[in-house]
Amino acid sequence: MTTMTEASVGAVREFKMPDVGEGLTEAEILKWYVQPGDTVTDGQVVCEVETAKAAVELPIPYDGVVRALHVPEGTTVDVGTAIIAVDTGGGTGVEPARETVAREPAEASAAGEPEQPQGRQPVLVGYGVAASSTRRRPRKAPQVPQASQVPLTPPAPQTPAEPAAAPATAPAATPAAAIQAELNGQAPVTRERPLAKPPVRKLAKDLGVDLTTVVPSGPDGIITREDVHAAVAPAAATEPAAASAAVPAPAPAPSVAAPAAVPSGGARETRVPVKGVRKATAAAMVGSAFTAPHVTEFVTVDVTRTMKLVEELKQDKEFEGLRVNPLLLIAKALLVAIRRHPDINAAWDEAAQEIVVKHYVNLGIAAATPRGLLVPNIKDAHAKTLPELARSLGELVTTAREGRTSPAAMQGGTVTITNVGVFGVDTGTPILNPGESAILAIGAIKLQPWVHKGKVKPRQVTTLALSFDHRLVDGELGSKVLADVAAILEQPKRLITWA
């Protein structure tokens, strides 16, 4: 007798929310890329989720046809909750290795050698894609009228002939050409899922903009933030005359906050759910503020020579193509100060009642992103040369602004720098990241009257603030570290003499 597998009898498999890294317990569904009735393959991305630390795309680990989406967009679910049902019947499912199929000898000889199961390469914690999947399957072109909503119940049963007739269409047009054709009154054109980065998708969701109606202006047809903003004004202008087929004249783009924060009906309050990065940040800051006794010290320093060095390094061939700014030299100054006073690079082990002095520096950089405040860190920053540090800083900032920072990039930090000066703020009293011993705040650098060589002259001046955990760092140690950073910024040649 032949033993049938679950897939061969048309079994429906439930794909559960995985642990996408670092022991996170929940995630929010940002966007579904499939709908009931769509065919999915092993490794295909089916949705984008946001955890407390990053936005990631989830691939499905088997083949089949989507039967139902259990969770709507914008819903936060716990790890282990079923979010999508896939029918793996028809011989297309990929079953786990623990299931075997017993064949009769005649069947086995007719089929030839049995296909060996292939191992999986982990993509996210808990599952992965097949070893043969070297690249993502081309995105399926959804029908335009169904792109704005995702039904939560399975569709009516279809005959096998219905899905087969769908591909018999003209070649897919580019997103820009398809949208222009519709605006000109021509027949709707089936087009691919729009290309956009996670922050842009989040912005479109907040503004209520359907990305399938946005004309992309970025390279390779990628939708930018400006494209989303530009789509808001024409949509509002054409509302009274929706029956007209003419393209409306462009209207001035409104501010970002207007459509997102001002509700219709003149409400006097807006409630914003606390979730994702903002929720995690709030919990971490409360825990840090009420666990570690904070002390903050300040120093105002003349950084004119540092600013001149920044301009000289921009012309150096070693830094060609790299981003050189005051933050680079301030970061290097802090690393030198930590080398001179290694006891500040430590952590408090509450369970063991021990101070853990770390002989490496994972330098955190606080970055303001569309998803909130993130603090990714540069691993082993103490061992990097100045050009290597510049390259790492540039990659860190670019990745954070694009919303591609991974959870691993935000783990294991030892000390942090936060640059409040970019907002025109003179200084502040930063709160420590949990598990770290110190955080340095950089104030705005601006011309101020300063006594230099016995005369009052306009000089480039800034204020530094160092917050530290008083359980680990006493006043003397904290003062020495802050004084060393200030001394290096005042006389950058100390980067050589103290290194």
Please answer whether residues 484 and 337 qualify as being in contact, where contact means their C-beta atoms are separated by less than 8 angstroms: yes
Q: Dihedral (C-alpha) 234, 244, 177, 48: value to the nearest 10 degrees? A: 50
Helix, strand, or coil (residue 107): helix
Please answer whether residues 417 and 440 qualify as being in contact, where contact means their C-beta atoms are separated by less than 8 angstroms: yes
Instruction: Give CA–CA dist 191/215, Å, rounded.
Output: 12
Active-site amino acid positions: 470
Instruction: Give CA–CA dist 499/112, Å, rounded.
Output: 68
Helix, strand, or coil (residue 468): strand
Residue 130 bridge partners (DSSP): 120
> Hey, CA dihedral for 199, 201, 204, 208, is it positive or negative?
negative
| Full 3-state SS string of the chain | CCCCCCHHHCCEEEEECCCCCCCCCEEEEEEECCCCCCEECCCCEEEEEECCCCEEEEECCCCEEEEEECCCCCCEEECCCEEEEEECCCCCCCCCCCCCCCCCHHHHHHHCCCCCCCCEEEEECCEEEECCCCCCCCCCCCCHHHCCCCCCCCCCCCCCHHHHHCCCCCCCCCHHHHHHHHHCCCCCCCCCCCEECHHHHHHHHHHCCCHHHCCCCCHHHEECHHHHHHHHHHHHHCCCCCCCCCCCCCCCCCCCHHHHHCCCCCCCCCCCCCCHHHHHHHHHHHHHHCCCCEEEEEEEEECHHHHHHHHHHHCCHHHCCCCCCHHHHHHHHHHHHHHHCHHHCEEEECCCCEEEECCCCCEEECEEECCEEECCEECCHHHCCHHHHHHHHHHHHHHHHCCCCCHHHHCCCCEEEEEHHHHCCCCCCCCCCCCCCEEEEECCCEEEEEEECCEEEEEEEEEEEEEEECCCCCHHHHHHHHHHHHHHHHCCCHHHHCC
